[in-house]
């Protein structure tokens, strides 16, 4: 089945969780974009919600879709957050950040009472790590961080956009590392996050409540 069709189906299903008056976290990426367009249609039909975007791109898309936006500061805690993922496993653990939005995404997820992940079936894996793990790093520290990650055997690569170094919405860099051979991702995440200058990792290990996966014509739901 076409992965974009599965993304759309999962995104449409996630809107069942959105109720009148909710504060909604708006994820980033192509799957979340389907959800945002669908949510925009519901708003146009009279649903009253407010959204907190997890990236500048999502903010723009949400404005175009007619979704009223507020800041995280204004929102405090969000009722529900809907976001995509680059990979997920049977324990609802994720790798995110393929599009570079991991930092704000993790902040929005952390500040949400309920987290829904929407995905096509290609993202389901037995073991996380075929997708390189993105780390958001402070430019000042990045060269030294890369040296350290190299010594740890994680094959770090500084993310580029064309000839330029890729910059996140927070003006940081992304270093992608290979974690496929790592057995204890919780321990690894603790080590990575404790390197000064690593702002956040794309490992979302305990944030997710429900995963809605588009599969063929329908959806499969994974819960904790």
Ligand X SMILES: O=C[C@H](O)[C@H](O)[C@H](O)COP(=O)(O)O
Judged by CB under 6 A, the residue of 15, 17, 22, 30 near ligand X is 30
Residue 4 or 64: which CB sits closer to ligand X? 4
128 Cα distance to chain centroid: 15
Minimal distance in Å, beta carbon 93 to ligand X? 14
Q: Is 202 annotated as a binding residue?
A: no
Residue listed under structure tokens 């499969």? 220
Residue 85 or 188: which CB sits closer to ligand X? 85
Sign of CA dihedral 15, 21, 27, 28: positive
Instruction: Kindly state the number of chain residues that form the binding site for ligand X, as judged by CB under 6 A.
Output: 18
> CA of 6: how far to CAs of 9, 166, 218, in Å?
5, 29, 8
Short-list 185, 171, 2, CA closest to 88: 185
Stretch in the footprint of ligand X (CB under 6 A) among 27-35, 41-49, 135-143, 193-201: 27-35
Residue 79 or 200: which CB sits closer to ligand X? 200
SS3 for 78-135, per residue? ECEEEECCCEECCCCCEECCCCCCHHHHHHHHHCECCEEEEEEHHHECCCCCCCCEEE
Minimal distance in Å, beta carbon 161 to ligand X? 13
Judged by CB under 6 A, the residue of 53, 98, 156, 197 near ligand X is 98
Judged by CB under 6 A, the residue of 25, 53, 100, 156 near ligand X is 100
Local structure of residue 166 (DSSP, 8 states): P
**96 in contact with ligand X (CB under 6 A):** yes
Instruction: Give the three-class secondary structure for 203.
Output: strand
Stretch in the footprint of ligand X (CB under 6 A) among 30-38, 58-66, 107-115, 158-166: 30-38
CA 103, CA 169: separation in Å to the nearest integer?
Answer: 9
Active site residues: 105
Residue 6 or 79: which CB sits closer to ligand X? 6
Residue 153 contacts residue 208 (beta carbons within 8 Å)? no
Q: Is 48 annotated as a binding residue?
A: no
Q: Is 86 annotated as a binding residue?
A: yes
Q: Which positions from 102 to 141 touch ligand X by CB under 6 A, shown as an x/- string?
A: x--x------------------------------------
Q: Rule CB under 6 A: which residues touch ligand X?
A: 27-32, 83-86, 96-102, 105
């Amino acid at each position: 089945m076409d992965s974009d069709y599965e993304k759309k189906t999962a995104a449409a299903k996630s809107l069942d969780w959105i109720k009148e008056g909710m504060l909604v976290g708006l994820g980033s990426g192509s799957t979340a974009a389907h959800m945002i367009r669908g949510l925009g249609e519901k708003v146009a039909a009279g649903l009253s919600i407010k959204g907190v975007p997890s990236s500048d791109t999502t903010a723009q898309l949400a404005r175009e879709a007619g979704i009223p936006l507020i800041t995280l500061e204004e929102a405090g805690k969000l009722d529900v957050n809907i976001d995509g993922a680059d990979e997920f496993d049977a324990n609802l653990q994720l790798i995110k950040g393929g599009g570079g939005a991991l930092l704000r995404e993790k902040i929005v997820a952390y500040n949400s009472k309920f987290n829904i992940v929407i995905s096509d079936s290609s993202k389901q894996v037995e073991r996380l790590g075929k997708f390189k793990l993105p780390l958001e790093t402070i430019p000042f520290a990045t060269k030294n961080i890369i040296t350290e990650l190299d010594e740890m055997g994680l094959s770090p690569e500084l993310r580029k956009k064309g000839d330029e170094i890729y910059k996140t919405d927070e003006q940081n860099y992304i270093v992608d590392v290979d974690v496929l051979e790592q057995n204890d991702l919780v321990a690894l995440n603790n080590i990575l996050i404790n390197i000064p200058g690593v702002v956040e990792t794309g490992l979302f290990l305990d944030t997710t409540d429900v995963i809605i996966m588009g599969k063929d014509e329908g959806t499969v739901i994974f819960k904790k």
